[in-house]
Structure 1
């Protein structure tokens, strides 16, 4: 298989700051607000679909590109593919969305997008990732779901 980015630049991983479980809330008044660090901890170990490295190691996701409002129940994540022409960008975005859908309470609206100027077809990728019907259809595809699950396997461990 020809790799899109055969020699990605690896970045040092930050040490984990929290051990997270999926956000189960029995008593809403007793919970801690969800913040940027918690969202990043959920995403940091998602594996790149093409390489055996995490999205954190490849600097595809970072705390600086996550916006969270617990009070307004939204999470916005911008990611930066390793190359401008990455054909895996939509799959990476789908993996990030699925990870957060599985980890956060259902009250959260999750927006995933490519960082401005980070991809040659940024508008098209963002349009796909924002379209609920396309995301749902993608998750009904057994091959795509298998790829997503593979990318999330180490993050869920």
Structure 2
């Protein structure tokens, strides 16, 4: 018997059109040790904007449903703040008691860790007032030791990889097909 879903009937929204800008963020190696020296040279000069970050995370799947975070309105471009070397992603769980919030935040963090230059500090935050345990979730997602421990857990890594598998597939799609 399958476990009960936390949000068995989520509201689904139509995705927006993907940015038509072609940048090399998605074409970069997904792991830092796969990057070559030319990547490091371009990172110092590269400006990244809100839409580019949104394009990276919009296709991540929800851990419970075969829907993207964008389709569930968990993330939007307006919820992303950039300053010089800092990216803050605010996300909105579909229900106030969502038990998958930490997995969602971890999936967003891992996607951005793999795709953005190392110079960026990443912060994840549950939208204020959208989750009953938002302070605890925010603390977990922004504590380096807790994130590192989570990424050493094979079961959690498998769930995160499943969430991220659709983000990579959507990167290869024609933006006009969305």
TM-score range, shorter chain: over 0.9
Structure 2 residue aligned with 1:8: 10
Q: TM-score, normalised by structure 1?
A: 0.93
Return the alpha-carbon distance in structure 1 between the equivalents of residues 53 and 78 of structure 2. 11
Query: What runs of 5+ residues in structure 2 fail to find an aligned partner?
Result: 30-34, 170-178
Greater Cα radius of gyration, structure 1 or 2:
2
Secondary structure of the residue that 1:5 maps to in structure 2?
Answer: coil
Return the alpha-carbon distance in structure 1 between the equivalents of residues 110 and 47 of structure 2. 21
Aligned Cα root-mean-square deviation (Å):
1.7
Q: TM-score, normalised by structure 2?
A: 0.82
Return the alpha-carbon distance in structure 2 between the equivalents of residues 113 and 10 of structure 1. 22
**Distance change >3 Å, CA 67–CA 29, structure 1 → 2:** closer
Counterparts of 1:64-83 in structure 2 under 5 Å?
64-69=78-83, 72-83=84-95
Counterparts of 1:7-156 in structure 2 under 5 Å?
7-17=9-19, 18-19=21-22, 20-22=26-28, 25-28=39-42, 31-69=45-83, 72-156=84-168
Secondary structure of the residue that 1:77 maps to in structure 2?
Answer: strand
Query: What runs of 5+ residues in structure 1 fail to find an aligned partner?
Result: none
Q: Per-residue displacement from partner, 1:3-28 (whole Å, max 9, x unpaired)?
A: 00001000110111145323873533
